[in-house]
Amino acid sequence: MAVCLDYQPLSYRKGWVISPRVQLVFALILAATLGMKVWLSVAVTQLGYRIAEVRQSRIELDMSRQELELQLSFLLRPDRLAESAERTLGLMPLRPAQARRLSYGAPHAG
């Protein structure tokens, strides 16, 4: 069995020949892509700073809310309310002899 290989010389180009117009289009596309990358990077950084500011503001507001809840619980304590009613309004605690039973409805025969 005989094998016969026929070698043919191949001609290779020594380089790619790209027209200046195509080179210009590729350069513009590259510049636009790099510009978009830089713009997106700056936008992401600014968004990160904004997120940090909002997070800090949220922490401060949460602390303020906790402080206000503490003040409210202090002001609504029954002993504090009684003291304030006596001091500011002149109200005194009710004595049992002062209590009257009120009834609303039909009078009872009796």
Inside any domain, residue 3: no
Cα 35 from Cα 16, distance rounded (Å): 27
Q: How many CB atoms lie within 10 A of CB 82?
A: 13
Mean pLDDT, range 7-31, rounded to an integer: 82
SS (H, E, C) the chain: CCCCCCCCCCCCCCCCCCCHHHHHHHHHHHHHHHHHHHHHHHHHHHHHHHHHHHHHHHHHHHHHHHHHHHHHHHHCCHHHHHHHHHHHHCCCCCCHHHCCCCCCCCCCCC
With 90 as the cut, is the pLDDT of residue 17 above it?
Answer: no
CA distances, 58 to each of 27, 45, 62, 71 (Å): 46, 20, 6, 20
Give me the domain span that covers residue 54: 20-86
Mean pLDDT, the chain, integer: 87
Is there a domain that residue 30 lies in? yes
Is a pLDDT exceeding 70 seen at residue 82? yes
For residue 53, what pLDDT is reported? 98
How many domains are contained in the chain? 1
Is residue 81 in some structural domain? yes
Does any domain span residue 92? Answer: no
pLDDT tens for 33-78 read 999 999 999 999 999 999 999 999 999 999 999 999 999 999 999 9
pLDDT at res. 14: 66
As a whole number of angstroms, the distance between CA 20 and CA 41 comes to 31
Residue 102 lies in a domain: no
In a domain, 34, yes or no: yes
